Amino acid sequence: MRTWLLLVVAFTSVCGRPGSPRDAGQGGVRKREFGELTELGKIFRRCRDKTTPDLSAKDGLARCLRKHRVAEERSGREGAKKGRKSKNSHKKAVTCGETYYMKTGEKRIFRVRANMKVCAIFVHGDGRTDLEMNCKTFALSACRKEYFFVQDQTSEKQFCGNKGPGKMTGRRALYLLYERLRRRRRRPRLWCSIEGVEPGGAGSGVDDGHGASPGVQAQGCGNVCGQAPAGAGASRIVGGEEAGVGEYPWMARVEISLGGVGMACGGAIVTTTHVVTASHCVDNEFLEITVKAGLHDLSSYQENTTQVIKAKQVLQHPMFSPMTSANDIALLTLEAPLRWTAGVGPVCLPPDAGFEGRVAVVTGWGSLGAGEDFALRACLRAGPHPTKLNEVAVTITDQEMCEEAYSSSVFSVTDKHICAAASGKDACQGDSGGPLVLKENGTWVLIGIVSFGRGCALKGFPGVYTRVSSYDTWLLNSIASGAC
């Protein structure tokens, strides 16, 4: 753990604060240090972090950007005028420090020239347009000398060397920054096109606003996800009630080993080769991870129904913070595909909706004992643990109330969390990464991932879950090769 924290600190101090020669939309030039975040970058990050991602131009993210004069909202007449194509308008090089408002069919080119030391731009769609970026040429030096920084509505990442970003679709806004510390012998090679496209295109992973449908699921999963036996439901974990065998086919046990020391978390199956869990469960690069699907009783191994497969890749959210547990979500890729059976199947990704007042279900093999200590909910042996999968029904709480309850905590609650509680009922230590689900339009959807809480079932402190709808696009882009 200590090694990982040091790595995070080192990366943040050296690579995590890219900058720009000019704050696009801010109208000023100022002195800056290599790797320093510009005002534009700060505004975009701040707006993105305080609102739910994957939003249209008329809601939270766009309103916040317009408030800070980063994005524009234009009338139909003005938009039509601006969108009128002129000669060679389909292929225009960007001007560093500018903000671009794009309509479907328009295209811009971000290209690094030999004498260029730094260049930053901001691009956003008109509310009816998504952005697609494709970097066909990419060859830079080491990050400490030269890098390309990409920020969108859900994440941010730095690229250097010969590994650039792949094709990116379903973006609503993009902040791009190239920076070079000193002159290099070889000319940098960076050429990326940004194009306005129709929203929800193939592979974009954009929520189409109609709930849990094939349009927001991985390939082929829309018709098979979220299926559970009739009568699937719950009453409690803390206080203890056993789930039915095969009642929650998407439930996975994630067993983690590091140097002979083991722990366990929960997980949710989303494709034949992908399981979603909490990032704090897998925050060390030297872990050995085994996923067990179809498991019910830990004390009696069910050879005929349990599938045991190792994870070959762990993808943590690029903005996960072990210090604050922000963006506490990770995706496991399995070495071999799962087989769908009566007791093993995927859960649906959720619609971007509010669920306050709705009753949801959380499942796991975590502690049955309540407590008052504040903690992440990874497998600390606190209180008695059941050998059989347990379930509990909890009610989604008022968001403002939950944020207030944890206002003095290091692990603060934001719009990217969802909270749930019931008297004497809660997830607990050992349930981290497990699914919080509810039934929506006849199918079960994954609305939350067990993350942290003050004690377990402690009055006034709801359980806190990662809000999965905030990460639908990131998940779908990450599981582009996964299917059902």
- Catalytically active residues, by annotation: 280, 328, 432
Strand-by-strand arrangement of the 118-125 sheet:
99-102, 118-125, 173-180, 146-151, 156-159
Strand partners for 182: none
Sign of CA dihedral 470, 472, 478, 484: positive
Cβ-contact 110, 94 below 8 angstroms: yes
Cβ-contact 226, 443 below 8 angstroms: yes
Contacts of 141 (CB under 8 A, 6+ apart): 160, 161, 184, 186, 188
- CA separation for the pair 175, 259 (Å, rounded): 41
Contacts of 108-114 with CB under 8 Å at 24 or more apart are 108/193, 108/194, 108/195, 109/191, 109/192, 109/193, 109/194, 110/176, 110/178, 110/190, 110/191, 110/192, 110/193, 110/194, 111/190, 111/191, 111/192, 112/178, 112/188, 112/189, 112/190, 112/191, 114/187, 114/188
Cβ-contact 458, 425 below 8 angstroms: no
Pairing state between β 359-364 and 435-440: antiparallel
Cβ-contact 124, 65 below 8 angstroms: yes
- CA separation for the pair 237, 36 (Å, rounded): 47
- CA separation for the pair 98, 93 (Å, rounded): 11
Contacts of 98 (CB under 8 A, 6+ apart): 24, 121, 122
Pairing state between β 99-102 and 118-125: parallel
**Neighbouring C-beta atoms of residue 270, cutoff 10 Å:** 29
